[in-house]
Amino acid sequence: MANLKEIRTRISSVEKTKQVTAAMKMVSAAKLKKAQDAILQIRPYADKLQEILGSLSGSLSDSEDNIYGSERKAENVLLVAITSNKGLCGAFNSNVIKRVNELANGVYSNQRAQGGLKILAIGKKGFKDLSKAYQVIGHHNELFDDMSFENTSAIASSIMKEYVEGNYDRVELVYNRFKNAGVQILTNEQFLPIVNEENDDANAHSDYIFEPGKEAIVSELVPKSLKTQFFGAMLDSVASEHGARMTSMHKATDNASDLIQDLKLHYNQARQAAITNEILEIVSGANALSQ
């Protein structure tokens, strides 16, 4: 059994760790509230806009009009992996990296073998791991310092431009979708080309009247919807990160409390054993002197 000094040192160390994890939990909880409000405010707007976009994409069947929805053979694929700059958030980052690996080695294995698979890593954790195995064309870790629609729009516009120019035939986003503080849904969704809304009625789109016109819709509404979709994915990821970190730090704090209790029990047992040995030595010495 370890001596008393070693146990006291370990108890002190675990108590300090507990203070850190408890503080991180409180910080994440505060940040989560702000991030949760942001995603809940934009999600209805983004979902409805994406629904309208899917319907319009089916109406804009002409490839010249529907530049963001033209289906091409997926020879060049871009995967946008959205992770975080910091760790200590459970499996938040590893789940995204695992999903990218599954896509790269499964659905897009042929593209990877031919050099047509590229990764855009947003977040230091994803960039660090994915750059070891894949062709990572860039990273935007600075986004988390100032998360705004303007900053994310610049990245979305760059991706859209590359798609229109034919450098990519398909773009997918891989991120954690926020459900609640304890649940994050790992998601990979197609960003480009635009996914047409499923409709059983073949003539469902024949009654659309385009105002002011198809060109205006393609040049204004469609890019705005795509930028909003990208911004929503970023907000989802940020809220999920804070939720995952809060949950992880809560568990770490509870584990530290349990460990402290166990160490104190061991300390009391060791102290009792030491006292018992001292008493036995005193009694033995007294008996020896009396004889």
Q: Which residues are catalytic?
A: 89
Secondary structure (H, E, C), the chain: CCCHHHHHHHHHHHHHHHHHHHHHHHHHHHHHHHHHHHHHHHHHHHHHHHHHHHHHHHHCCCCCCCCCCCCCCCCCEEEEEECCCCCCCCCHHHHHHHHHHHHHHCCCHHHHHCCCEEEEEECHHHHHHHCCCCCEEEECHHHHHCCCHHHHHHHHHHHHHHHHCCCCCEEEEEEEEEEECCEEEEEEEEEECCCCCCCCCCCCCCCCCCCCCHHHHHHHHHHHHHHHHHHHHHHHHHHHHHHHHHHHHHHHHHHHHHHHHHHHHHHHHHHHHHHHHHHHHHHHHHHHHHC
